[in-house]
Amino acid sequence: MASILYEVVRLTCPQVGICVSLLIFVGRKAMGISLLHLPLRFPTFTGGVHPDDNKRHTAHLKIEELSAPKKMIFPTLQNAGAPGEVVVEVGDSVKVGQLLIKQCGIISANHHCSVSGTVIAIEPHLHPCGSHVKSVIVENDEKYEVFRNIKPLGHPENLTKEEIIKAVSNAGIVGMGGAAFPTHIKLSPPSGKKINHIIINGAECEPFLTSDYRVMLEDTDELLIGCGALLKAVDASECIIVAESNKKDAIAKIKQNPIYQKNEKIKTAIVKTKYPQGGEKQLLSAVLKKEVPPGGLPADIGAVVVNIDTCAAVARSITTGMPLITRVVTVSGGAVANKRNFKVRIGTPVADAINAVGGFTAEPAKILLGGPMMGVAIHSTDIPVTKGVGAILALTEKDVGIKVTTNCTQCGKCVDVCPMNLMPTIIDRYCENFDAEMLEKLNIADCIECGSCTFICPARRDPLQRIRTAKKKINAFKK
């Protein structure tokens, strides 16, 4: 509240704002508090919005193990890039950690079985993307027998960088913040590009989501062992764990850990709580004060961004030898009473997670995989939790807000908040009257699909939805 009041004063009356800043500065000096330790304002990016973070419902809830059901679904596509190739047959007996789907192509990933049992079908199944995708269906025998090849690889300190990258690739680790980009590719930048900064993304700026926050608090050792492994894999000079200012306690916990205290290359940073602070480019702008060039990658400025749960998964893949078969998922929203943070075996249908929280207490207006800003709406709960799904939200009409769309008033608010400096109002117009040439000139490809424009629009317009559809059309033309 105090910071909001300060912002209002600063913006409406700069002279008073400066006086307030000076008073705070002098006060802190008098109390012996360093500005470095207690900054007036946390670093951030330009633009963005401030939705209610709704994290209070689950932030205090420890991660609980969700029992896996009888029928598990493993899609061949759980990563950005190409789907993998199925390497088992119907009738095969499979074990926990056994390879089911082998990476296929340059950008692809392995996917493994998270239970033991029998392959009962290999067929198209409804997928979080909304289409049917070839999937391996396994009947869980509930014995959880581990595949014979699963063995610890030792401590990352004793492995070479090539061995670490190979372990990450074999384990099928992808970005668990939502993008699901294969991590071993991120760790292998194009020749001539050197990674100096590893940024561990604990911003978790999407409302309702608390899975990364709980991993920071509860799996601190694994997170820090993962940081050490990533530092070695790319020979970087620093690894910075970043959280928003609403998760300062998680950063404090990390700083108390002996692994953190022994490794001077591991650092922490706190950034302003603002959406979409967790966007790769927005995070790099806030932490490194460097901008990724348009159309470029973090590697272009010597950085790689890795999600919190992904970093912990890197550690597990090395210290236990177990591939990526679980992830933490927040189940929340106004339409579920017993909200939870679950450790979910990949392949568990959404319906089973919903049943585990006691089902719906109200008719959900929307069920989302992911957060309310960027999540994907689903129309059936017979969809598996895949590696990129960090939340299942069942939102009521009150959560979603009643939307009566009117004409654009040209208020310009969407332009003010766009973190990519785009012109959402004009892009929206050319999306409605589809004009690929104009949309390319307006740099539609740079849109990170954060939804800030949709959130802020007083006319309840939805530029994000039209941008997503237009991007798909443009990509289809190019194929």
Using CB under 6 A, list all residues that contact ligand SF4: 408-414, 418-420, 422, 424-425, 428, 447-453, 456-459, 461, 463-464, 467
Q: How far is the CB of 405 from ligand SF4 (least distance, A)?
A: 10
Q: How far is the CB of 423 from ligand SF4 (least distance, A)?
A: 8
C-beta of 155 vs 403, nearer to ligand SF4: 403
Q: How far is the CB of 425 from ligand SF4 (least distance, A)?
A: 4
Q: How far is the CB of 276 from ligand SF4 (least distance, A)?
A: 7
CA nearest to 176, candidates 347, 314, 317? 314
C-beta of 114 vs 452, nearer to ligand SF4: 452
C-alpha dihedral over 80, 430, 298, 49, to 10 degrees?
-100
C-beta of 296 vs 359, nearer to ligand SF4: 296
Q: How far is the CB of 274 from ligand SF4 (least distance, A)?
A: 13
C-beta of 49 vs 344, nearer to ligand SF4: 49
C-beta of 23 vs 411, nearer to ligand SF4: 411
Helix (H) or strand (E) holding 120: strand 117-126
CA nearest to 198, candidates 292, 271, 305, 285? 305
Provide the residue type at 417 as one letter: V
C-beta of 280 vs 352, nearer to ligand SF4: 280
Spatial strand order of the sheet with 303-307 comes to: 266-271, 238-244, 197-202, 303-307
Provide the residue type at 132 as one letter: H
Q: How far is the CB of 455 from ligand SF4 (least distance, A)?
A: 8
Largest CA distance in the chain: 75
Q: How far is the CB of 182 from ligand SF4 (least distance, A)?
A: 24
User: Helices 220-234 and 161-170, interaxial angle, to 10°?
Assistant: 120
Task: Cis check for the bond before 372: say yes or no (omega within 30 of 0).
Answer: no
Q: How far is the CB of 128 from ligand SF4 (least distance, A)?
A: 20
Query: For residues 314 and 103, what is the distance between their CA atoms, to the nearest angstrom?
Result: 17
Provide the residue type at 193 as one letter: K
Q: How far is the CB of 44 from ligand SF4 (least distance, A)?
A: 15
C-beta of 376 vs 459, nearer to ligand SF4: 459
Inter-residue contact 240 to 200 (CB < 8 Å): yes
According to DSSP, residue 272 is labeled -
C-beta of 269 vs 418, nearer to ligand SF4: 418
Query: For residues 203 and 198, what is the distance between their CA atoms, to the nearest angstrom?
Result: 14
User: Side-chain half-sphere of 61: how many Cα atoms within 13 Å?
Assistant: 22
C-beta of 257 vs 443, nearer to ligand SF4: 443
What are the φ/ψ torsions at residue 395 (nearest 5 degrees)?
-100, 140
Inter-residue contact 381 to 364 (CB < 8 Å): no
**Torsion 244-250-254-255 (CA) sign:** positive
